[in-house]
Structure 1
Amino acid sequence: MSDQFVSVILDAVNKLNQSELPVWSKTDLFSTTYRGRQENVVKVVKSACQLAYHDDIHTVFELTFSKGCPGDVDADRYLNEEVKPLDLPDELKNFHVDCKYSFYAFGEADYMQDIVQIVDLAKNAGLNPQSMHYATSLSGSVNDLFQYFNDALSYAHDHIRHYVIEATISVNSPSLDE
């Protein structure tokens, strides 16, 4: 939350775009979509968050991870890309984040067992999951959070045909001081 939000966003996007990304991307009026192999997408999204991070700016990131939508076919060739390191600046920091997320399993009769497994992965990651209305809150480092997202997506990929994770990540919130 800054009156310089345009430069914060564009600086991060420009730094990210200077690397040869192993994902397909498209930016529109509302967001940027990345498609590709799960590990590469998680890595790119994490890097975007890290590049936008400033010690003194309250930042909120809205994320959606999904698999299984039959209409989602743009750039399918990126789904088979090898896992690649990103050539990014050395300035990527590990910082504290607070997150709320919801996991949705579509077309699954007994989806609660999968949600329990997804939440248990957060416990094992040390992210202190707390139940809230229609969501779970997490707290920890950006590195641990995105490792958890990768682990949760791997679990979901192996057990569920169609799923969505909706997440809101907050950094440097002034509400924490209250």
Structure 2
Amino acid sequence: MFSGAQVSLYPMSGNFAEIILDAVKGLNPYRDALRIETDDISTLMVGPPDVLFSAMRDLFVAAAKSGEHCVLSAAVSRGCPGEPDDPACGTSLLERDALPLLERIDAASKTVAAAPASDQPAAAQFSLYVMGIGDHMDEIYGCIDFLKRSGTFDRSKNFCTRLRGDAGAVFATIQEAFCRFGPPEGHVTLDITISANSPTKA
């Protein structure tokens, strides 16, 4: 299977370049497990979903600790039929999808409750897309049920769900949505926006 993300980081600061370059150092512990390629628009990260979300979390938290308003935007995908299989993306997380939906909802909620805190508040919105299966709405509704029990649910919005809480729990919630819902070998994508230190909190 192939899993990865195109990630862009936006510090709202005149000092944006230094904030980004310092935050990128947070990816160093993950470079052996992820393929990381950066250009002038985004950074591609390819690898197992659990490592992928941990790396995105640490990148975001490192930037947000500057105290400046920071936004991370990411398109995340697994199982895309247009991408080659990559053994480096293997993970046991997706094997859990064989469980019945209600068991997956319960397990995902417990995982988020146990997520380590980052001491960085964050707000997020994201959309889950389960591609190419007839019962995709069952998976999406199951994910929504999980989100409402996650402890990070803020509210539903048009086309997306809003989360709020510690960045550790927020990223754990999004990871569980990505890994627990949709078929293990199916094509699943996320559209994510995460914000910290906004001057216009809502």
What is the TM-score of this pair, normalised by structure 2? 0.74
Equivalent residues of 1:121, 1:151 under 8 A apart: no
Matches within 5 A, 1:100-115: 100-115=125-140
The alpha-carbon deviation at position 29 of structure 1 amounts to 2.1
Equivalent residues of 1:129, 1:139 under 8 A apart: yes
Work out whether 1:150 is the aligned partner of 2:184: no
The alpha-carbon deviation at position 35 of structure 1 amounts to 0.9
CA deviations over 1:42-96 (Å, ceiling 9, x no partner):
111111111112252101110222112122238x23113799xxxxxxxx94211
C-alpha separation in 2, matches of 1:109 and 1:36: 28
Work out whether 1:161 is the aligned partner of 2:172: no
What 5-or-longer segments of structure 2 have no aligned partner? 1-11, 94-116
Q: In angstroms, what is the RMSD of aligned CA positions? A: 2.4
C-alpha separation in 2, matches of 1:13 and 1:167: 19
Identity over aligned residues, as a percent?
Answer: 28
For 2:21, the equivalent position in structure 1 comes to: 10
What is the TM-score of this pair, normalised by structure 1? 0.83
Please state whether the residue corresponding to 2:68 is helix, strand or coil.
Answer: coil
The count of residues paired between Structure 1 and Structure 2 equals 168
Work out whether 1:34 is the aligned partner of 2:45: yes
Matches within 5 A, 1:59-74: 59-73=70-84
For 1:89, the equivalent position in structure 2 comes to: none
What 5-or-longer segments of structure 1 have no aligned partner? 84-91
For 1:80, the equivalent position in structure 2 comes to: 90
Matches within 5 A, 1:88-99: 93-99=118-124
User: Which amino acid is the alignment partner of residue 67 of structure 1?
Assistant: R
Equivalent residues of 1:119, 1:129 under 8 A apart: no
The 1:27/1:63 distance shift into structure 2, 3 A limit, reads same
For 1:45, the equivalent position in structure 2 comes to: 56
For 2:144, the equivalent position in structure 1 comes to: 119
The alpha-carbon deviation at position 113 of structure 1 amounts to 1.4
C-alpha separation in 1, matches of 2:148 and 2:158: 18
Equivalent residues of 2:30, 2:55 under 8 A apart: no
User: Which amino acid is the alignment partner of residue 73 of structure 2?
Assistant: E
